[in-house]
Amino acid sequence: MVTGTSVVAFKYRDGIMMAADCLGSFGSQARFRNENRFMQVGSNTLLGASGDISDFQYMKHALDDLLTHEYDMDDGQSMGTKSVYKYVSNIMYGRRNRFDPLWNAYVVGGVDGGEAFLGYTNLYGTTYQSDCIATGFGAHFAIPILRKRVDGRADEISEEEAVNILDECMRVLLYRDCRTINKLRRAKVTAQGVEISEPYVLETNWSIADNVVGYGA
């Protein structure tokens, strides 16, 4: 089983900002180092995935089939972010009820009707919406940072500040999560569409390790 770890996402002034690393872990082996755990769905929706990469591929095929059906209808309508979120959530809940869950946690973000939307669902079919969401270890280490820097001021955060917040969260996760690397992808969703960056390397500083008791012993 190849798995991916945390996805971190939050609302900012222009829409949604999201980040994930590029590692696909085979057990404890850092096997694949150029994974893309994002998927653009339609023109203004982004899906981010944690967990089993093969189950994520299943979801991607399901969404591709849905988009093909929508295109074939040729009725001038397109699926909004909330509709995509409901569809993904229903698949997750349905698979859970058949005792054959998809071992993933998904973050669905986008701009729907001029408003930023951010929602979460997981293998149990649990769903919620929030201004800031993180999966995996991010739910423990990134959420406190996001609540401090994002909650109540999402409409004030510029793109530059949003990038800095993302990098801060991902840097903390790199120091704490042994199933991640410092090669990341960043994505944003605005009214103009979805942009997914090429992989980039996050700068780190391990000098603090000398102060950890037992390090190097």
Query: Model confidence over 84-105: pLDDT tens digits?
Result: 999 999 999 999 999 999 999 9
Share of the chain above pLDDT 90, in %: 82
Query: Which residue(s) pair with 115 in the sheet?
Result: 112
Name the burial class of residue 93, with classes exposed (0-12), middle (13-18) and buried (19+) by CB atoms within 10 angstroms of its CB: middle
Q: What residues pair up with 189 in beta bridges, in sequence order?
A: 16, 194
Residues 169 and 155: their CA atoms lie apart, in Å, by 19
Query: What's the angle, vertex CA 136, arms to CA 102 and CA 156, rounded to 5?
Result: 115
Q: At what angle do helices 81-97 and 53-73 cross, to 10 degrees?
A: 130
Mean pLDDT rounded to a whole number for the chain: 93
Q: Is the predicted pLDDT of residue 217 greater than 60, yes or no?
A: no
Note the pLDDT tens digit of each residue in 112-142: 888 999 999 999 999 999 999 999 999 999 9
Instruction: Give residue 88's pLDDT.
Output: 98
* Residue 160: pLDDT band with limits 50, 70, 90: very high
- State the pLDDT at residue 74: 81
Per residue in 14-70, pLDDT (tens digit) is 999 999 999 999 998 999 999 999 999 999 999 999 999 999 999 999 999 999 998
**Per-residue pLDDT band at 216 (split at 50, 70, 90):** low
Going by C-alpha positions, the residue among 134, 114, 122 that lies closest to residue 17 is: 134
Which residues are within 8 A (CB) of 157 and not within 5 positions of it... i.e. 6 or more apart?
A: 12, 13, 150, 165
Distances (CA, A) of 16 to 68, 101, 110: 25, 28, 6
Q: Residue 13, Cα to own-chain centre: how many angstroms?
A: 18
Strands 104-112, 2-4: parallel, antiparallel or unpaired by DSSP? unpaired
